[in-house]
Amino acid sequence: MLTPTWEVDPPRESPLLAHVNATATGGGVSELLRNLLRHQPAGWAVIAGNADFYAVTKYLHHLLHGQADPTRLDDPALIRTYRATLEPQHAWFADQIRPDDVVVLHDPQTLGLAPAIKAAGGKPVWHCHIGATIDPERGPARMWQAFEPEFDALDAVVTTLPEFAPPNTKNLFLIPPAVDPSAVKNRDLGATEIDALLAEIGLTSDRIAPDVAITHEKPLPPDSRVVLQVSRWDPLKDMPGVARCVVGLPRDAHVVLAGTNPTEIPDDPEGLAVLAEVRAVLAELSEVDRGRLHLVNISMRDQDRNALIVNALQRRADVVVQKSLQEGFGLTVTEAMIKGKAVIASDVGGLRQQITHGHNGILVDPADIGSVREELRRLLDDPTLRRELGGRARATVLEHYTMRQFADAYRQLAKSVHEA
Ligand code: UDP
């Protein structure tokens, strides 16, 4: 029986603000909600799913990024599987939702609940965190058409960029994601603490930690320069492409790819395949290059521990990369920027929103691996430039992307939806 659960119980006051998403751990949305709910009283429910459902929602995810065949949606079985998984969960929501509650449905996985929330007297809002810098006709248009009944039920839509929303959306709010500077993921860490953590997980030592799986030939040397990408093992993050960037970097430069344990994120069924692809790249590298590539898989079971390790890795890095093929926003970049790191990111979607090329980071064409390597060499060899870009990156995040601003935007959204 598929039953949603409250990850955070809703506050008692009415009307309620509640969020619904597909997973309590793993990825930017759960990271955002966990932090948002520290700043704002709200409920957080997580839907249930199964392998067939997650295969469809992953397809929709790729479709919104312009990376899937839109004609597959012509097969009515796809939408049938999607709706049939959510349908048994309607009664649970009808039971929990009271009239005028604002219920924010995050990403395509939960959009299908909109008519049921509406029927229960609630005010459904869809927050779509993903989208692509492409011609919308290449993918999203087909999705907007297939989900017309869901869109008709919505009171508002939230996106990061206007082009991520369906055309003619009546009540559109633009809210970029945000980070919490004081959260475990971002709080200051001293050099001793960073060194101890990285040794404890076996990145810089021969130790083996129970919650971190590391694949490398030998530990990261203490005086090495580090290029880091932190991501889920999702095809759109191009982890194999970052692994290939190790070729041609200075001899003391190492590439660290850090991700969540791919078996722990239910709505991310492609993680193991991507990890296998990265291992294949590793196997093909020369012996010298192979010795400079480190794969780090961190368990999500203990959220704070996971956050602390990611924090330490980001602080240890000399350059943080996000070589995504498409990216709705890219919290990993925001997290690196608030730590004053020099960032090289793909010139797409939300990464383009956060970074002004040459001012607070470097934008690259992810398809042009030659120029990514060139920018990496340039930044690794220029500590002054790294410091300047990093300083301005931190200022950008403090000015535009803090959790306080995110919570305020949600407060206004809830007020406006109630008053409409
Ligand atoms: N993340 C993490 N541990 C990992 C890999 C990723 O905590 O091993 C976090 C990362 O720090 C960030 C989020 O997952 O907060 C990823 O968000 P982003 O917007 O970059 O991408 P998404 O996964 O939502 O596509």
Q: Is the pLDDT of residue 205 over 80?
A: yes
Q: Is the CB of 22 under 6 A from ligand 1?
A: no
Tell me the whole-structure pTM to 2 decimals: 0.94
Name the average pLDDT for the chain. 95
Contact 228, 267 (CB under 8 A): no
Q: Is the CB of 139 under 6 A from ligand 1?
A: no
pLDDT, position 45: 97
Structural domains in the chain plus CATH codes = 5-178+403-419 (3.40.50.2000), 191-400 (3.40.50.2000)
Residue 418: Cβ-neighbour burial (10 angstroms; 0-12, 13-18, 19+): middle
Closest ligand 1 atom, residue 258 Cα: 8
- The rounded Å distance from CA 184 to ligand 1 centre is 14
| 269 compared with 314, residue with greater pLDDT | 314
User: pLDDT tens digits for 37-54?
Assistant: 999 999 999 999 999 999
Q: Is the CB of 31 under 6 A from ligand 1?
A: yes
Closest ligand 1 atom, residue 350 Cα: 19
Q: Is the CB of 349 under 6 A from ligand 1?
A: no
pLDDT, position 136: 61
- The rounded Å distance from CA 147 to ligand 1 centre is 27
**Sign, CA torsion 189/179/36/27:** negative
List the structure tokens of 334.
């925001």
Instruction: State how far the Cα of 269 lies from the Cα of 287, in Å rounded to an integer.
Output: 31
Instruction: State how far the Cα of 114 lies from the Cα of 118, in Å rounded to an integer.
Output: 6
Q: Is the pLDDT of residue 244 over 90?
A: yes
Q: Which letter does DSSP use for residue 24 in this model?
A: S
Name which residue sits closest to atom 14 of ligand 1, judged by CA: 27
Q: Is the pLDDT of residue 137 over 70?
A: no
- The rounded Å distance from CA 187 to ligand 1 centre is 16
User: pLDDT tens digits for 393-418?
Assistant: 999 999 999 999 999 999 999 999 98
